[in-house]
Amino acid sequence: MSQATPSSPVGALTIGAHVDQQDPIAEARARGMTVVQMFLGDPQSYKGPVVEYAGGAEALKADAAEAGVAIYVHAPYVINVATTNNRIRIPSRKLLQQHVNAAAEVGAQGLIVHGGHVSRGDDDAEMLAKGFDNWRKAIEATDLAVPLLIENTAGGDHAMTRHLARIARVWDAIESAEGADRVGFCLDTCHAHAGGNALETVVDDVIAITGRIDLVHCNDSRDAFDSGADRHANLGAGQIDPELLARVIRDAGAPVILETPGGADQHVADAAWLQERL
């Protein structure tokens, strides 16, 4: 990887990227960035978190602090605490707690987790209601040693956080749970676009529901509005209007993580693309 010119600050805004977990500090330096996102282990596995950094969690926490690199951890995609299927929900809660603990051990700013979904049932309204309440139970059952940032998702008729109305019901369900003050929101621009949420108003719409946006995943979309397809594109190479994408970032005013395709060079180019429009 080439050494990049620092590209993270944009006024008060910070731009980072999702990077390989083996050495996130080196990945940050290669991009000239001061914030990164990473997995801890296999995102498609229930096996539990793994810290691949040499020296383990303690060394990563110390070295990142010394280097001035902030870390976010993305939870495995398999976690689904909303489902009514016990064989998925119970292991998901266990895995969520394990990743919260591991994120705290590496000094992460927060743990990002997808909203999950329920299965189609005889009474979809009843299934969805159980899914929202399962989110409440999950928050109450989890010791949130780091902030938990729930992310909007792109597809699925039974998804908990695709549509704004469903996000509102998740927040209604969890607001009374102990630990709700440790729950925040991660807005993904590709997911919002593909999920059918108007980017012109999505920031105001989300803040009206959650009161906050803690992190933005800034991604273009390979697919059309309301397609339900979660396929990220490099900034300016997808189907989201460039000025509208930049407007979302300006309005959100939160740290930005690029989850766009490619390595350091592509992330540096995407950060420069965004800076030019901000």
Q: How would you write the pLDDT of the chain (278 residues) with one tens digit per residue?
A: 333 433 444 445 899 999 999 999 999 999 999 999 999 999 999 999 999 999 999 999 999 999 999 999 999 999 999 999 999 999 999 999 999 999 999 999 999 999 999 987 767 899 999 999 999 999 999 999 999 999 999 999 899 999 999 999 999 999 999 999 999 999 999 999 999 999 999 999 999 999 999 999 999 999 999 999 999 999 999 999 999 999 999 999 999 999 999 999 999 999 999 999 99
149, 187 Cβ separation under 8 angstroms: no
Total domains, the chain:
1
Does a structural domain hold residue 88? yes
Q: Per the confidence metrics, is the pTM higher than 0.85?
A: yes
Indicate whether 89 belongs to any domain. Answer: yes
Q: How far apart, in whole angstroms, are the C-alpha atoms of residue 133 and residue 178?
A: 14
Residue 40 Ramachandran class (φ > 0 left, ψ -120 to 50 alpha, else beta): beta
Residues 6+ apart with CB under 8 A from 261: 232, 233, 234
Note whether residue 3 is domain-resident: no
Q: Which domain range does residue 258 map to?
A: 9-277
Q: Flag whether 18 is in a domain.
A: yes
Residue 64 counted as domain residue: yes
The answer to whether position 162 is within a domain reads yes
Residue 99 domain-assigned (yes or no): yes
Domain CATH code at residue 226: 3.20.20.150
Instruction: Specify if 93 maps to a domain.
Output: yes
